[in-house]
Amino acid sequence: MNKLSREEVLHVAHLARIKVTDEEIEKYQIDLKKLLDDVDKINDIEVESEELLVTPVEQDSVLRSDQETSSVSFEEIKKNVPAVTGNFVEVPVMIGE
Amino acid sequence: MNDYKTTVGIEVHCELKTNAKMFSDSLNNYGGVANVNINEIDFALPGTLPTINQYGVELGIKVALVLNCEINKKVVFDRKNYFYPDLPKGYQITQARNPIGVNGYVEIEVDGQKKKIGIHDIHLEEDTCKSTHADTKSYLDFNRNGVPLLEIVSEPDMNSPEEAMAYLEKLKELLLYANVSDCKMEEGSMRCDVNVSVSKTNQLGTRTETKNIGSISSVGRAISSEAIRQIQELEQGNVIHDETRRYDEKQDRTILMRVKETGNDYRYFPEPDLPSYIITDNDIEKVKETLEVMPDKRRAFYLEKGISSVNSDKLIQNKQLSDFLLGLEDIDLVIASNLLLGDISSYLNKTEKKITETSLTKDKLREVTTMLSTGEITNKVFKDIVVDLMGTNLSIKEIIEKKGIKTISDENALLEIVTKVIEANPESVKDYHEGKDRAIKYLMGQIMKETKGQANAAIVSRLLQEELNK
């Protein structure tokens, strides 16, 4: 099979919360399949360890003390949000939480 | 309908009492002014990186110990991906592959039957922001975003609403005594999702998940109504779908919610921004040292000291009172617990104070308990001095003096009253000699009445016995 099904594309689009047109669906059916095939090549590489390499850095985390804290004023944050009501960030209603 | 067996598993989320958030260094405090305890990391601004709160990990270890879990020493995190405005990063940092604790258990008791409820795992994650919904808009407060959250996943080991409620009560008790969370379901610092299925065979039926139920008793009702709904569906030849529901308290029924992502849709993958942390034996020892005496041990001790099981439970449920008795194990705990649960609790309720906010010290409780046990003062005297005892820094002797309360310890004066009471109550004296225990109590009461409760009870008791046996 050289392309994804229509349903698969719609499912991925839904997870990303984007709307796609019929034309785009057809395009993504092929594009996404190509992408998956490219990524699949990684499976051909022979590896010695079964353990997942999460990061190439071989250093453990240094934990942060619970004591000191920092904050940014809401005035600053406001510049990066779509809308504000009072001290709240306003977004279109999230239905069926 | 009775041949169906109900099976219940519960996921509990509890917020951890840290100073800072789990993966950012903003303050862990919400409920006040919106969007003040926030920073660049909480808002996922470009270029920010999370860090792990050490105390958050320690509290995770603590809960693992308290719930008898094996500890996974390699602490790693994963991303759970979903787009929703309550999570600016587009993913929640959680532990999917390697939860901090696994294979634990909690022991519950229902109708005298003990049962172990398995803990599948406990894992560390972060809370989402708090949203309030209006007709066309939702309003977001990010103070809660990033608050350390511990999810406790039980095995499907419960088979009735009663067992589920007992499990939650027990869990709450343990978390409170471990001092990791304040576990207030009404404020959302403890939340539960219940998985319910019914089946006629040993094979489990399809389960549904009922989310965010507001109280432990509601959990019981939600399980009952969901089990009945499933049985009715099956009896009508329908199938149960794996779906998310919510419990409507007023209608006492569960309602289907919008279908959200499940399983693979979350596209979990390792969090590359957080290198692993290896828990050392030393870390675990350090946490063990901070563990207080757990409720089961306290309960057993109270019972051993002669406190009734009702009062023992009351003490356990009121941790501040139970804590107040720590270090006072040598005094008469029956008397001390009666004081704490009686007049002292009334005072605390009236003044809306915690016991540590009053003038009562452990030394004063020790002193007053001893005075009561030796009969130096009576319960009536205690009632008269309790307000001053709790509200002033006066010593017990000073309070008694100030109140003009005299404890009569003068043996000659008391003997006079004892003799008078004996002469006035020949029936009771006769009863006493016939071995009726109640008689002596009655006579004691009469003497106390004569002395307006100010007589030294120990001396009176001795004198009375001596006079009666003459």
Domain at A6-43, CATH class? mainly alpha
> Does residue B287 fall inside a structural domain?
no
pLDDT at position B146 over 50: yes
Q: What is the pLDDT of residue B349?
A: 94
Predicted confidence (pLDDT) per residue in B63-87, tens digit: 999 999 999 999 999 999 988 888 9
Angle, CA of B156, B160 and B165, to the nearest 5°? 90
The b-or-e profile of B312-340 (16+ CB within 10 A means b, else e) is bebbbebbebbbbbeeeeebbbbbbbbbb
Q: What is the pLDDT of residue B71?
A: 98
User: A90 and chain B: CB distance < 8 Å anywhere?
Assistant: yes
Q: Who among A52, A61, A69 is closest to B270 (CB)? A: A52
Residues B298 and B371 in one domain: yes
Domain span at residue B389 reads 293-402
Of B282, B302, B320, which closes a domain? B282
User: Are B38 and A15 in contact (CB < 8 Å)?
Assistant: no
* Least confident span in A46-55, B19-28, B41-50, B440-449: A46-55
pLDDT at position A22 over 80: yes
- The SS3 of residue B66 is helix
Please give the mean pLDDT across all residues of chain B: 92
Residues B432 and B392 in one domain: no
CA dist., res. B406 & res. B387, Å (int): 18
B140 chain-A contacts, CB cut-off 8 A: 88-91
Task: Tell me if B396 sits within 8 A of B371, measured CB to CB.
Answer: yes
Task: Tell me if A25 sits within 8 A of A6, measured CB to CB.
Answer: yes
Residues B139 and B14 in one domain: yes
Query: Which of the two residues, B10 and B261, has the higher pLDDT score?
Result: B10
Backbone angles phi, psi at B19, to 5 degrees: -85, -45
CA distance B285 to chain A (A): 18
Report A:18-57 residues touching B (Cβ under 8 A): 52, 54-55, 57
CA dist., res. B122 & res. B151, Å (int): 5
* Least confident span in B180-189, B364-373, B425-434: B425-434
> Does residue B307 fall inside a structural domain?
yes
| Range among A75-79, B46-50, B118-122, B424-428 rated most confident | B118-122
Q: Position of tokens 């319910």?
A: B196
Residues B258 and B376 in one domain: no
Half-sphere exposure of B29 (CA within 13 A, CB side): 10
User: B35 and chain A: CB distance < 8 Å anywhere?
Assistant: yes
Element (H, E) at B69: none
Residues B258 and B132 in one domain: yes
CATH number at residue B462: 1.10.10.410
B53 chain-A contacts, CB cut-off 8 A: 63-64, 66
DSSP summary character for residue B263: G
* Least confident span in A43-57, B62-76, B224-238, B291-305: A43-57
CA distance B271 to chain A (A): 8
User: Are A66 and B55 in contact (CB < 8 Å)?
Assistant: yes
Backbone angles phi, psi at B116, to 5 degrees: -95, 125
Q: Who among B19, B140, B261 is closest to A15 (CB)? A: B261
User: Are B270 and A17 in contact (CB < 8 Å)?
Assistant: no
| Neighbouring C-beta atoms of residue B159, cutoff 10 Å | 14
CA dist., res. B343 & res. B372, Å (int): 14
**Ordered alpha helix ranges (H), B85-200:** 161-177
DSSP B8-60: EEEEEEEE---SB-SSS-SB---SSSTT-S--TTTTT-TT-----BHHHHHHH
User: A75 and chain B: CB distance < 8 Å anywhere?
Assistant: no
CA distance A53 to chain B (A): 9
Residues B10 and B65 in one domain: yes
pLDDT band at A68 (very low <50, low <70, confident <90, very high): confident
B271 chain-A contacts, CB cut-off 8 A: 54
Residues B250 and B317 in one domain: no
Residue type, B256: L
Task: Tell me if B211 sits within 8 A of B246, measured CB to CB.
Answer: yes
What total of structural domains would you count in chain B?
Answer: 3
B45 chain-A contacts, CB cut-off 8 A: 80
Q: Who among B35, B84, B97 is closest to A87 (CB)? A: B35
Q: Is A64 left (phi over 0), alpha (psi -120 to 50) or beta?
A: beta
| Range among A52-61, B53-62, B78-87, B442-451 rated most confident | B53-62
Pairing status of strand B91-94 against strand B78-81: antiparallel
DSSP summary character for residue B143: T
CA distance A10 to chain B (A): 13
B136 chain-A contacts, CB cut-off 8 A: 92-93
User: Are A60 and B131 in contact (CB < 8 Å)?
Assistant: no
C-alpha separations of B462 from B436, B456, B470 in Å: 18, 10, 12
Nearest CA in chain A to B134: A93
Nearest CA in chain B to A80: B45
When scoring B78, B140, B211, B262 by the number of chain A Cβ atoms within 10 A, the one with the most, hence best to mutate, is: B140
Put simply, whether the predicted model's pTM sits higher than 0.90 gets the answer no
User: Are B136 and A91 in contact (CB < 8 Å)?
Assistant: no
Q: Who among A63, A86, A89 is closest to B277 (CB)? A: A63
Half-sphere exposure of B266 (CA within 13 A, CB side): 15
Residues B156 and B298 in one domain: no
Report B:77-136 residues touching A (Cβ under 8 A): 81-86, 97, 131-136
When scoring B137, B191, B265 by the number of chain A Cβ atoms within 10 A, the one with the most, hence best to mutate, is: B137
CA distance A23 to chain B (A): 24
Residues B382 and B333 in one domain: yes
> Does residue B288 fall inside a structural domain?
no
Question: Domain locations in chain A?
Answer: 6-43
Report B:241-260 residues touching A (Cβ under 8 A): 257-258
Q: Who among A64, A87, A90 is closest to B25 (CB)? A: A64
Of B374, B402, B430, which closes a domain? B402
Element (H, E) at B363: helix B362-373
CA dist., res. A71 & res. B27, Å (int): 8
Q: What is the pLDDT of residue B170?
A: 95
Residue type, B357: E
pLDDT at position B261 over 70: no
Rounded mean pLDDT of A1-10? 89
Query: Which of the two residues, B239 and A56, has the higher pLDDT score?
Result: B239
> Does residue B34 fall inside a structural domain?
yes
Residues B35 and B111 in one domain: yes
Q: What is the pLDDT of residue A1?
A: 62
Residues B67 and B96 in one domain: yes
CA distance A1 to chain B (A): 22
Nearest CA in chain A to B34: A87
Q: Who among B142, B275, B277 is closest to A57 (CB)? A: B275
Residues B435 and B360 in one domain: no
